[in-house]
């Protein structure tokens, strides 16, 4: 272990959904700790790139649609070719669709499962092969409060995040002995685009706030500390954990 076990100097982190919101905040936290960033997004990631480079870190933009498996091999190979390795993978990209369970469509089911669960597993698989060959690596899946609870009106999101928690444990069981740590962060109610509908609903917003002991919605930057911990040597004996960053929601 280094003198500073949270130091990420010399590492490369591949972060999906890094153009905004939680993914951007995680990418910046990792860069502040010393990591170079390969950012996967469906659109422009110029704002993330500017901030990462201002910290003196390298930045690689990788545009890809993770609703299919087609780009996954390319993402991994391009990151390794350009930045030299993938030491850290953050599976953050995700979708949410809201509707009553009796009205939920197959399309809304498939689109969410494909991005949130299927692509996350196969990206972990592709990056994991590199990490296992190197004898080390860190994989961080972004789970949810709905990895623990049922939620309402989000059937495919709940299924995907429950599944991601299970996959996190399975990969930890298989890869811990190979030097690869697989863990997850479960964000609480965060102020992002995905929760805009909830925050705009006065009654629902207040009901959520009333249950959060911290008394506020989380901000994307609140995930930074947990991400750096799980990406760093400080977590070398942490395997298969799902760490809530929720303002105390689950404790209520």
For the stretch 189-219, pLDDT in tens is 999 887 888 899 999 999 999 999 999 999 9
In terms of Cβ atoms closer than 10 Å to its own Cβ (0-12, 13-18, 19+), residue 81 is: exposed
* pTM flag (> 0.85): yes
The pLDDT of 5-10, averaged and rounded, is 98
- Taken in order of first residue, the domains within the chain and their CATH numbers are 12-238 (3.40.50.720)
Q: 74: which strand partners?
A: none
The pLDDT of 22-34, averaged and rounded, is 98
Q: Look at the chain and count its residues.
A: 252
Question: pLDDT over 70 for what percent of the chain?
Answer: 99
Which residue is catalytic, options 157, 175, 189, 229?
157
CA 189/CA 144 separation, integer angstroms: 9
Torsion-angle region of 94 (φ positive above 0: left; ψ -120 to 50: alpha; else: beta): beta
For the stretch 86-132, pLDDT in tens is 999 999 999 999 999 999 999 999 999 999 999 999 999 999 999 99
How many C-alpha atoms does 28 have within 13 Å on its Cβ side?
A: 19
Question: pLDDT over 90 for what percent of the chain?
Answer: 95
CA 206/CA 208 separation, integer angstroms: 5
* Spacing of C-alpha 245 from chain mean position: 12
Under 8 Å between Cβ of 214 and 16 = no
Q: Residue 161: name the closest of 142, 177, 175, 178 by CA.
A: 142
The answer to whether residue 237 is catalytic is no
Q: 63: which strand partners?
A: 41
For the stretch 136-170, pLDDT in tens is 999 999 999 999 999 999 999 999 999 999 999 99
In terms of Cβ atoms closer than 10 Å to its own Cβ (0-12, 13-18, 19+), residue 180 is: buried
Question: Does an H or E element contain 244, and which?
Answer: strand 242-245
CA 174/CA 231 separation, integer angstroms: 18
């Amino acid at each position: 272990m280094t003198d500073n076990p949270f130091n990420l100097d010399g590492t490369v982190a591949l972060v999906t959904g890094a153009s905004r919101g939680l993914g951007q905040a995680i990418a910046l936290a990792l860069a502040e700790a010393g990591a170079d960033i390969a950012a996967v997004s469906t659109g422009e990631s110029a704002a993330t790139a500017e901030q990462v480079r201002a910290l003196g870190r390298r930045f690689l933009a990788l545009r890809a649609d993770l609703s299919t498996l087609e780009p996954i091999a390319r993402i991994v190979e391009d990151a390794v070719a350009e930045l030299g390795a993938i030491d850290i993978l953050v599976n953050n990209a995700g979708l949410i669709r809201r509707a009553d369970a009796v009205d939920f469509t197959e399309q809304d089911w498939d689109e969410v499962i494909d991005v949130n669960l299927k692509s996350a597993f196969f990206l972990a698989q592709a990056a994991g092969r590199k990490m296992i060959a190197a004898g080390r690596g860190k994989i961080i899946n972004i789970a949810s409060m709905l990895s623990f609870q049922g939620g309402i009106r989000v059937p495919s999101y709940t299924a995907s995040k429950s599944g991601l928690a299970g996959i996190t444990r399975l990969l930890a069981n298989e890869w811990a002995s190979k030097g690869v740590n697989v863990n997850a962060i479960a964000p609480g109610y965060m102020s992002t685009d995905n929760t805009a509908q909830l925050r705009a609903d006065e009654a629902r917003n207040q009901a959520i706030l009333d249950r959060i002991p911290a008394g506020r919605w989380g901000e994307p930057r609140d995930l930074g500390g947990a991400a750096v911990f799980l990406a760093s040597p400080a977590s070398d004996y942490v395997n298969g954990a799902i760490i809530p960053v929720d303002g105390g929601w689950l404790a209520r």
